[in-house]
Amino acid sequence: MAETNSSPQTAALLLSEPAPGVRLITLNRPDRLNALTRELVAELNETLDRLAADDQCRAVILTGAGRAFCAGQDMHAARARHAQAPSGVIELMFWQEQFAGIGRRLRAMPQLVVAAVNGVGVGAGMALAMTADVRLVAPEARFLVGAVRIGLAGGESGLSYLLPRLVGAGRAFDILLTGRAVDATEAERIGLAQQIVPQEGLVEAAVAYASTVLSNSPYSVRQTKRLIWENLDAASYAAAIELENRTQILATQTEDYPEAVRAFTERRPPVFSGR
């Protein structure tokens, strides 16, 4: 896999290009189950900002090195930092927003985002997977938010918003209030995951999935993602239809739409230009 980041990479975050238009982000702290430090959060946010603005990037895959996807915040690093210099409320709020900002970036970026969940996703790590557009999971994957067990609220990095929309309010109450783990089989059954894929072929399956999506019109993929996320918050059915109508009419004005119509009538694959 060729590296696509020309700036020096830290060992904690790897960026590669496994297929044209596809970027693979690997959280690379396997000895700490890819737990998030402040430094890793800052680098991940910067990387997502850069990819969101990259016209050559059409899909982003997020995975973890080793046996975990992401174990949430690195509590050992946080405890050590607190022992040296306790953070005040302003600093704590800043970093809380930086942690939550990862998910906001994943949701807002125009590219398809696929989470290849290779192992446990805890707290903010679970939220990363939930904010992706699609989740493929290994049999070893488990999702867990144990915040209620340590005196914190179960809503973290957008989970109180995302989880009910993915699995329904009843299941979200159960998962967040008990702090229990959701394994790969249950995740697929309740809609947290699209597919269970053997660990050794997980990233390849995510790349294949992304490539299938990217065979469609670039405008269509970007705007379909936008429509789904926006209409999750639509004030009404009429408001959702209004956004769909405008988006659809704009689509007819792209060069790719008549090309798709010609390809259909000529019974050949379309050649999209992204214009």
Q: What is the pLDDT of residues 157-192, one digit of tens each?
A: 889 999 999 999 999 999 999 999 999 999 999 999
Beta bridge partners of 60: 23, 113
What pLDDT, in 10s, does the model give residues 193-248? 999 999 999 999 999 999 999 999 999 999 999 999 999 999 999 999 999 899 98
Q: Which residue has the higher pLDDT, 58 or 99?
A: 58
Is residue 209 located within the same domain as residue 225? no
Give yes or no for residue 77 having a pLDDT over 80. Answer: no
Beta strands, E only, 148-212 = 181-183, 195-196
Q: Within a domain: residue 271?
A: no
pTM above 0.85, yes or no: yes
Q: Which two tokens stand for residue 229?
A: 């996320």
Element (H, E) at 16: strand 13-19
Q: Within a domain: residue 208?
A: yes
What pLDDT, in 10s, does the model give residues 43-59? 999 999 999 999 999 99
Q: Within a domain: residue 126?
A: yes
Per the prediction, the chain carries an average pLDDT of 89
Is residue 101 located within the same domain as residue 189? yes
| Local confidence band at 252 (pLDDT 50, 70, 90 cut-offs) | confident
Beta strands, E only, 28-175 = 59-64, 68-70, 112-117, 120-122, 134-137, 142-144
Q: Residue 11 sits in which domain range? A: 2-214
In whole angstroms, what is the distance from residue 230 CA to residue 65 CA?
Answer: 32
Q: Within a domain: residue 74?
A: yes
CATH of residue 199's domain is: 3.90.226.10
Is residue 73 located within the same domain as residue 176? yes
In whole angstroms, what is the distance from residue 201 CA to residue 265 CA?
Answer: 37
Q: Which residue has the higher pLDDT, 157 or 84?
A: 157
In whole angstroms, what is the distance from residue 234 CA to residue 231 CA?
Answer: 4
Q: Which residue has the higher pLDDT, 148 or 16?
A: 16
Is residue 168 located within the same domain as residue 243? no
Give yes or no for residue 3 having a pLDDT over 80. Answer: no
Count of domains forming the chain: 2
| Local confidence band at 273 (pLDDT 50, 70, 90 cut-offs) | confident
Is residue 42 located within the same domain as residue 155? yes
Is residue 203 located within the same domain as residue 245? no
